[in-house]
Structure 1
Amino acid sequence: MTDPYYKTPEWRKLRAARLAKDGGMCVVRGCGKKATTVDHIVRRRDGGKDAIANLRSLCGEHDRSVKELPSGKRRNGGKLVVKGCFEDGSPRDPKHPWYTGGPKRGARGVQT
């Protein structure tokens, strides 16, 4: 069941503000994808505040990486995991020795 708070004007305004602050992009370092979700870092049910500082903009892939399991616990303890490769085959993990930051993108996000 979805929390009715997420249908309120207050949430919509806060969500829009977080997306704007992040430029509409996923905040995971090296991701570069468009954000589709605004996620509470500390869940509301765990006492997390409805505040810009407790929110993060995520793409679908990274949102799914922290979604709640049927047990109510979050995958990876709610921590974002950087894994896999960009579409050009380069690693996403900034700690990987071959990490280059991903495909170079122009001003409009187009691969160059």
Structure 2
Amino acid sequence: MSRWPYNTQRWQRLRRKKLARDPLCQACESLGHGTPAHAVDHIKAIRNGGPAFPPIDQLLSLCQTHHTQKTAADMLDQGEAWTLRGCNPDGTPRDPDDPWNAP
């Protein structure tokens, strides 16, 4: 990446710190998988008003698949509503809007 803030040393330090603290994809971990994370993503995208250099707990360590899904949702201005596809370890749908979760 060659665009600000991703081309700064400050971002690279923050990215390394996040990956050192959370080396596995946080989305995959919630599904019970141990996939290594390769990307660090803002929970709230910069283009949607998120800070460029947020506290580490406002970042996500993600594998390439989940990073691509989240980025696509952000581009459609659905980043806040981005949910992980699939089921929880107990078999229930992860999407709170899934009809299965209806009262």
TM-score, length-scaled by structure 2 = 0.68
Q: Which runs of 5+ in 1 are unaligned?
A: 84-91, 98-112
State the AA in 2 paired with 1:94.
P
Contact 1:41 1:55 (8 Å CA) reproduced: yes
Q: Could you tell me which residue of structure 1 aligns to residue 43 of structure 2?
A: 41
Q: Percent identity?
A: 31
1:62 Cα offset (Å):
1.1
Higher helix share: 2
Q: Which runs of 5+ in 2 are unaligned?
A: 93-103
1:93 to 82, 88, 92: 88
Pairs aligned (count): 87
Contact 1:66 1:74 (8 Å CA) reproduced: no
Looking at structure 2, the residues matched to 21 and 72 of structure 1 have their Cα atoms a distance apart, in angstroms, of 27
1:77 Cα offset (Å):
4.7
Contact 1:67 1:74 (8 Å CA) reproduced: no
Contact 1:34 1:59 (8 Å CA) reproduced: yes
Which structure has more relative contact order (CA 8 Å, sep 6+)? It is 2
Q: Are residues 32 and 78 of structure 1, via their aligned partners in 2, closer, same or farther at CA, if it must alter by over 3 Å? A: farther
